[in-house]
Amino acid sequence: MRMLIVSQYFWPETFRINEVARDLVSRGHDVTVLCGTPNYPAGRVFEGYGWFRRTREAWCGVQIVRVPVVPRGQGSRWRLAANYLSYAMMASLLGPIRCRGRTDVVLVFQMSPVIQGIAAVVMKLVRGAPMLFWVQDLWPESLIAVGAIRRRWMLWPIDALVRALYRASALVLIQSRAFRGHVESHGVRPDRIRYFPNLAESTYVPLPVEAAHPALARVPAGFRVMFAGNIGAAQDLPTVLAAAELSRVRRDVHWVIVGDGSMRTWVQSEIERRELSATVHMLGRFPVEDMPRMFAGVDALLVTLRRDPVLSLTIPAKVQSYLACAKPIVGALDGEGAAVIAEAGAGVCSPAEDPQALAAQVLGLCDLDVSSRLEMGRRGRDYFLANFASDMLLGRLERWCSELASDSAKRTQ
């Protein structure tokens, strides 16, 4: 099949859609990605790129078509709005010109912002191809969850847009089972909704302690629990720091933070202000290929989310990566993410925004015997293979795309 993926973000930015596109190529498909100038997460255009530089390139067999976007900068509301709108506008205008040839299906990787779906609808209409809308974030609800919008009237046009995008889609794919009610409430029939969770990159495999990343030498020996990924408002780092304060009497417990994001500077300043540098360690951002080695050198992996009805419906993408690497998981979150960890028997969970409970869970896991922790990791890995394995999920996606392409071809004959 000839597949067009519409995603504002793509390699060399690190997102799950990279793996999906690459693996679809390896399975014999012709894949083109319509994306923006790479600038996430730092907010600066990546070296070697520009509005008129490297607008076309290939990566692992994937044909990449880039359109100009306003960099997100430091993530202010107006700068983010400009970033989002510039992609939607430029991809809608330039996509039909730069992405030529037959298209059998259009797949939207819908992280924030949802307005990137506008470009996908344009491509669907121009190419006469069915569209699949893979929902990663619930809009407009996620805007409320992160405090981006506080005036209810501003949500109405966004809600109307979401309804229109869902209505234009042949299938709406949901990364969490809990998303179903939201999608149905926007007028989508149940038979057009399919559960399609996030995949973990194939690099996420269990590794022995001996393979641990050299950067972990900066962390003292002891029980190490690692948070890895986006350091943003939704990830609730204040609760992590508060729990670290409560556990600081245990000098053998070390909280390791790996990643980058809008709250990185705040977290670093808070570590210094609270005098936590002996037990909380920020190591910076590393390529996705390095993460299994980072995980190999720690005892548990941490996933957190703010207390919010919308966020409780999501499965943070890092959960799949953690499960794949056979490490015990410490969760400080509500809803579907916590349910997956419990269902897998892969770790321990506490409610969102409860630092006392989180500290207690970490200390309890620290005091648990090693064999029990290893068993948690094994159960997590087994659950991953049964529910999130790449081959199984991509086979499911291929089948849906093939059916839609075949039905579309019949209608045009």
Please give the pLDDT value at position 86: 96
Q: What's the domain range around 364?
A: 209-387
- Cα dihedral angle (189, 190, 193, 196), rounded to 10 degrees? 170
Find the farthest-apart pair of alpha carbons in the chain and give their distance in angstroms, rounded.
73
Token pair listed for 112:
């924030």
Q: Which residues contact 129 (CB under 8 A, 6 or more apart)?
A: 4, 103, 104, 105, 106, 123, 405, 408
Q: Are residues 222 and 172 in the same domain?
A: no
Q: Are residues 29 and 154 in the same domain?
A: yes
**What are the residues facing 109 on neighbouring strands?**
134
Q: Are residues 185 and 251 in the same domain?
A: no
In a domain, 377, yes or no: yes
Asked if 404 and 105 touch (Cβ cutoff 8 Å), the reply is yes
Element (H or E) spanning 291, and its range?
A: helix 291-296
Please give the pLDDT value at position 145: 53
In a domain, 396, yes or no: yes
Total number of domains in the chain: 2
Please give the pLDDT value at position 151: 61
301 three-state secondary structure:
strand
Rounded Cα distance, 320 and 327, in Å: 11
Q: Are residues 95 and 122 in the same domain?
A: yes
Token pair listed for 328:
């015990």
pLDDT in tens, the chain (413 residues): 999 999 999 999 989 899 999 999 999 999 999 999 999 988 899 999 999 899 999 999 999 999 999 998 877 778 888 999 999 999 999 999 999 889 999 999 998 889 999 999 999 999 999 999 999 988 776 665 555 555 666 667 888 999 999 999 999 999 999 999 999 999 999 999 999 999 888 889 999 999 999 999 999 999 999 999 999 888 999 999 999 999 999 999 999 999 998 899 999 999 999 999 999 999 999 998 999 999 999 999 999 999 988 889 999 989 999 999 999 999 999 999 999 999 999 999 999 999 999 999 999 999 999 999 999 999 999 999 999 999 999 999 999 999 999 887 777 66
Q: Are residues 145 and 246 in the same domain?
A: no
Q: Are residues 33 and 135 in the same domain?
A: yes
Token pair listed for 374:
């290893």
DSSP 58-101: EETTEEEEEE-----TT--HHHHHHHHHHHHHHHHHHHHHHS-S
Please give the pLDDT value at position 149: 55
Give me the CATH number covering residue 224: 3.40.50.2000
In 3-state terms the chain splits into helix, strand, coil percentages (rounded to 5) of 45, 20, 35
- Cα dihedral angle (223, 229, 234, 239), rounded to 10 degrees? 20
Amino acid identity of residue 185, one-letter, is: S
Please give the pLDDT value at position 7: 97
Rounded Cα distance, 187 and 8, in Å: 25
Q: Are residues 175 and 253 in the same domain?
A: no
Please give the pLDDT value at position 413: 63
Q: Are residues 162 and 219 in the same domain?
A: no
The answer to whether the Cα torsion of 234, 321, 36, 115 is positive or negative is: negative
